[in-house]
Amino acid sequence: MSMLFPRWMNALPTVVAIGAISALTTVAAGTWYWATPDFWEVGYMPTQPGSGFNHQIHAGRLGMDCRYCHTNVEDSHWANIPTASTCMGCHTEQKLKPEYDPGDKVAFIREAYAADESIPWRRVHKLPDYVGNFPHHMHVRAGVSCFSCHGQIRGMPVVYQEQGLGMGWCLDCHRNVEDNIVGPSKVTDLVWAEQHLKERAQGADNATPEAKQIIKSLQESIAGGGPQNCGACHQ
């Protein structure tokens, strides 16, 4: 009988316990690392309803301005997603020439519109609730391009989260506003903004007069505390 339960098995509970502890430590360390926004949320790309919405076609190939649909980006604390009626401006039956009409792919828009329902688009960018104050419009009005925070949307068939949106990301820009202002008249010109900011990062003194003026006034206001106070964002 003694052969059936060899002596080393007396140590089994200890071995199991040590194994469990080190496994837990690995999981905890892994979660801590991966759960920080840069690893967890960058690239976040939820599946959208129907055949989705393609920015590369509309904002890229067709050249539509962001504000045609995101109408309140300059005026409101929160950016808006357009309603189905905005889409119906073009996707009403027989409105587009047959060679451009996407047919069945836009049926979900017509159905939502006919039923007076909104299309259940899924949120891509979302700050935690304890960040009580992110005035979206002030950023746009100060001349920060959509490109700086959302990436090259004009080239995205499906929108995904390109930036970490963590606290360090906010503070980095607030400390270096001069690297990020393109001026209000250029905020939605994403292709220009990408090229222009790249050159600036490489040392070019390329800010437009409009941008230079804003940078100067911001440096003065931010030097006085500005949005670096804890209470500015955590209200």
- In the 8-state DSSP scheme, what is residue 181? B
Closer to ligand HEC by CB, 34 or 134: give it: 134
63: left (phi over 0), alpha (psi -120 to 50) or beta: left
First to last CA, the chain: 70
CA gyration radius, the chain = 25
Structure-token match 């030097």, residue found:
223
Length of the chain: 235
Residue 29 corresponds to which tokens in the numbers above? 């360390």
Closer to ligand HEC by CB, 42 or 127: give it: 127
Closer to ligand HEC by CB, 22 or 219: give it: 219
Closer to ligand HEC by CB, 11 or 223: give it: 223
Q: Give me the least distance between CB of 131 and ligand HEC, in Å please.
A: 4
Q: Give me the least distance between CB of 116 and ligand HEC, in Å please.
A: 16
CA dihedral 157, 158, 163, 164 (to 10 degrees): -160
Closer to ligand HEC by CB, 91 or 200: give it: 91
Q: Give me the least distance between CB of 165 and ligand HEC, in Å please.
A: 5
Q: Give me the least distance between CB of 233 and ligand HEC, in Å please.
A: 3
Coil, helix or strand at residue 226: helix
Residue 174 corresponds to which tokens in the numbers above? 């607030």
Q: Give me the least distance between CB of 23 and ligand HEC, in Å please.
A: 24
**CB–CB of 165/41 below 8 Å?**
yes
